[in-house]
Amino acid sequence: MKKIAIVTGASSGMGADFVRQLARRAGLDELWVVARRGERLAALAREVGAISGAPRLVPIAADLAKGGAASIRTKLEDERPDLRLLVLDAGVGRFATFEETDKEDSLAMIDLNVRALTESAKDSLRHFGPGGGMILVASLAGLGPMGNIAVYAATKAYVLSFGVALGEELRPRGIGVTVLCPGPVATEFSAVAAKGGPGVMRGSVTSATVVERCLRAYDRGRSFAFGHWTWALAPAALRLVSRRFLARQAMKIMR
């Protein structure tokens, strides 16, 4: 039975760096990479193909916000591989008040960040054996209510809560779950979220660094990964302020 890993949101940013770093690890026969933009997946496949000993890259062009998770489920059921790692990185955000954000944008965030993530996690469960696991990409924004990114922060709060609970449920099966909670990362996420605004947020850490530290935390069986030591202080610091204060301050910063 072939051993595989699956990475969603693989066409850019942290998703692409998860693919690059997993491709250099031993023990995988195939890497299934999922994203909307098939041309980027093809380019990534060519890049990874140049790595000596890398697993075969299998592109799956699918829009997870529009039912694309079915493509992953069908392929898993058809091939029944030994799933060693599922990285659920696909996500989208918007920097704007709830009133200013298009309704369709808000619903798309929920569909991708929550529904598709939950569906993909559920569909994968029967394909894991002991020693397999998941990485769920949440955000520091999920630690509390955030003005100007209200829906995005709420979706990441779901990922955080769901991931920690799922990890405890799967622990008896020998399946690990690590929730990644990064702060600002130097990817195209900010430009997309701002609809053409600044491309990189102040204080951003490189995507490759965050992914490397996340995989290290996963290997050690950690429930959480942050990607930078200062971000790891956030949960304790945020307990010292009210949720209303946090929402108000986030609104000022995100403006």
Q: How far, CA to CA in Å, does 62 sit from each of 9, 10, 11, 90?
A: 10, 11, 11, 11
| pLDDT tens-digit profile, the chain (255 residues) | 899 999 999 999 999 999 999 999 989 999 999 999 989 999 999 999 888 889 999 999 999 999 999 999 999 999 999 999 999 999 998 888 899 999 999 999 999 999 999 999 999 999 998 899 999 999 988 888 878 899 999 999 999 999 999 999 999 999 999 999 998 888 656 555 455 555 556 668 899 999 999 999 999 999 999 877 776 766 666 666 666 656 666 666 666
Task: Give the pLDDT of residue 211.
Answer: 96
Task: Give the pLDDT of residue 250.
Answer: 63
Give CA 224 to chain center in angstroms: 13
Q: How far, CA to CA in Å, does 237 sit from each of 158, 159, 207, 241, 253?
A: 20, 20, 24, 8, 17
Q: What is the pTM of this model?
A: 0.88
Report yes or no: 180 and 160 within 8 Å, Cβ to Cβ. Answer: no
Which CATH number belongs to the domain containing residue 30 in this structure? 3.40.50.720
46: domain range? 3-254
Provide the terminal-to-terminal Cα distance of the chain, rounded to the nearest Å.
51
Q: How many structural domains does the chain have?
A: 1
Task: Give the pLDDT of residue 240.
Answer: 64
